Structure 1
């Protein structure tokens, strides 16, 4: 196998179209078709089901693609590792995070890190909870901020450190009866309509579970695709929401009020994870140590 064949294969798999892949690669379509055919001949299997120039991966093709993604990630990491060992303070940190940390937590820590290491660069992406874990495992990125921290006995493919615990608070419309209270118990919201994140979000499960522990099932009136959408729904007076405290730092919308909640179970642990089966790169190790140093203080 040649790297050119692998690159062509991955581009075709991504686009599911020979001509579109050729255009993206800036080569002739016949060259792409020939290299894919040579690769299939060498492997002794069909990687694609063909329908004219449109193609779909076969089951063995899907498995081969997953292996090649891992392989190319490792090769790119190897090149970066050699470069960063020469000068780790100017390397790149690949990190992912949940959208709830996009407005305050991650920008603040990156700003502080670059004050110390101004030449350091970042490649950032956001993802859902289980995609953060899988992305670290499969090499899409080496570090991820995450909340809550996965239990070690349930997830052996990653390691990490809890950085801090944050409170979960209520966000209510400004004219809500509890808006002027200094704190409430969660069960006081049992008759209110709730606005929540969609199914598949771990924080939605956290909200529902917390309400059940408090003795009621939340009346879900609306779903918002992200935290900002929930803020907008509350601001419009369409319900109340539970929020991680960090999402409201310097960003509480008009017509809403934050109210602390006294229930002791309403908190989540925020941490950083990395893969157990490979070493993170030098610049990323600098950033990881910086996280531990910062939050320890």
Structure 2
């Protein structure tokens, strides 16, 4: 039995039994993958996959159980590699982070700047995706940890811990009629077309549900994945924009006004750091997570301590360490700097 054979089986399961996709990802011929899987099945004495001709069409009952064991073996193999690295060259390596657009654009910049000064010999790869894609990247071991609001808490196999709370805010051009109101209500905002996130991104579904629950027949004029796109169309007068507050705190505010008190009109959202349950990360990865989620004990992340209820996180508006240009943005010389 070879570890690589186990990786082929796990990859086939992750890619919905599409061996062409597996071959493209692993840079090996499809026939080579099929041969290795058959050799493993012969050694184990079971069929892992149901076949129709040369195609894999499903998992056998034994195969379903085998893939769970294989996933655990591969996870522990990765942990073993990382364990050794924790004793040697602890401040060198590679780190992959999966994040949604809002997190990558408006949350991670200040954190990654601090991290780069503390760990100048750690290369970071940032992979963006939808919340569902972030969860999938973690399950497929394509990222060390992820940062998102939706999906990660509800995904089996992932550990998600609170990072910070945030709200949506309503934004308009500087000369908009709503700027003349001291504290516009949801009814006031609903009188205008709405420009916000689509339902899969940054709480877009929660925004729409807020209007629906209050009985407003609102005009959802445009949806987008990117807050900067939303701002562009708001500047053009297409409607009232509703974006995550960090997109204004850490994003381009040119020509735009955040309506006072608008954050209170929408439900609280919570961004979370997520990682594969049972995985062991490099020490520097835990240091980076601590920058994002300072109230989460490391023992929770390493599964050496169980938890039922963690302390509620601070709000993004309170987390000045996450604000670009905020009082905590100027970073002191790191321990790596030499006079």
TM-score with structure 1 setting the length: 0.74
Is residue 18 of structure 2 the alignment partner of residue 21 of structure 1?
A: no
Pairwise CA distance, 1:181:
5.4
Q: Against the structure 1 CA distance between its residues 11 and 141, is the aligned structure 2 distance closer, same or farther, given a 3 Å change threshold?
A: closer
Structure 1 Cα separation of the partners of residues 25 and 246 of structure 2: 45
Query: d(CA) in 1 for partners of 2:161 and 2:236?
Result: 39
1:100-139 correspondence to structure 2 within 5 Å: 100-129=102-131, 132=134
Name the counterpart of 1:285: 286
Pick which of 79-88 and 225-234 moved more. 225-234
Equivalent runs, 1:143-162 vs 2, <5 Å: 143-147=145-149, 158-162=159-163
Q: Kindly tell me: are residues 144 and 217 of structure 1, through their superposed partners in 2, closer, same or farther at Cα, counting changes over 3 Å? A: farther
Q: Return closer, same or farther for 1:32/1:143 CA change in 2, 3 Å cut-off.
A: closer
For 1:67-106, list aligned pairs within 5 A.
68=70, 71-106=73-108
Question: Deviation at 1:189?
Answer: 0.9
- Structure 2: 5+ residue runs without aligned partners? 296-317, 322-339
Q: Would the alpha carbon gap of residues 241 and 273 (structure 1) be closer, same or farther in structure 2, given more than 3 Å must change?
A: same
8 A contact 1:149–1:271 mirrored in 2: no
Counterpart for residue 228 of structure 1: 228
Please state how far the C-alpha of 1:114 moved relative to its aligned partner. Answer: 1.4
Return the alpha-carbon distance in structure 2 between the equivalents of residues 172 and 296 of structure 1: 24
| Equivalent pair of 1:195/1:223 in contact (CA under 8 Å) | yes
Deviation at 1:100, TM superposition (A): 0.9
Structure-2 change in CA distance of 1:274 and 1:186 (3 Å): same
Superimposed CA distance per residue, residues 171-208 of structure 1 (whole angstroms, 9 cap, x where no aligned partner): 22455312465642232111212123333346012212
How far apart are the structure 2 equivalents of 1:280 and 1:90? 13
Contact 2:184 2:262 in 1 (8 A): yes
* Matches of 1:132 and 1:26, distance apart in 2: 26
2:145/2:273 contact within 8 Å kept:
yes
On the 8 A contact 1:144/1:273 being kept in 2, the answer is yes
How far does residue 282 in structure 1 lie from its aligned partner after superposition? 1.5
What's the CA shift for 1:166? 3.4
2 CA distance for matches of 1:122 and 1:116? 13
**SS of aligned partner of 2:114:** helix
CA positional deviation for 1:108: 1.4
Provide closer, same or farther for how the CA distance between residues 128 and 71 of structure 1 changes in structure 2, counting only shifts above 3 A.
farther
Inter-CA distance 63–228: structure 2 relative to 1 (3 Å threshold): farther
RMSD (Å) for aligned C-alpha atoms: 4.2
Structure 1: gaps (5+ residues): none
215-224 or 254-263, which moves further after superposition?
254-263
In structure 2, the partner of 1:37 is 38
Q: How has the CA–CA distance of structure 1 residues 31 and 107 changed in structure 2, closer, same or farther, with 3 Å as cutoff?
A: same
Contact 1:185–1:263 (Cα < 8 Å) also in 2 = no
CA shift in 2, pair 1:64/1:182, >3 Å: farther
> CA shift at 1:261, angstroms?
3.1
Task: For residue 121 of structure 2, give the secondary structure of its aligned residue in structure 1.
Answer: coil
Task: After TM superposition, list the pairs within 5 Å mapping 1:182-261 onto structure 2.
Answer: 183-201=183-201, 203-212=203-212, 216-249=216-249, 251-252=251-252, 256-261=256-261
Quick one: structure 1 residues 242 and 203, their matched pair in 2 at CA, closer, same or farther if it must change by over 3 Å?
A: same
- 2:169/2:245 contact within 8 Å kept: yes
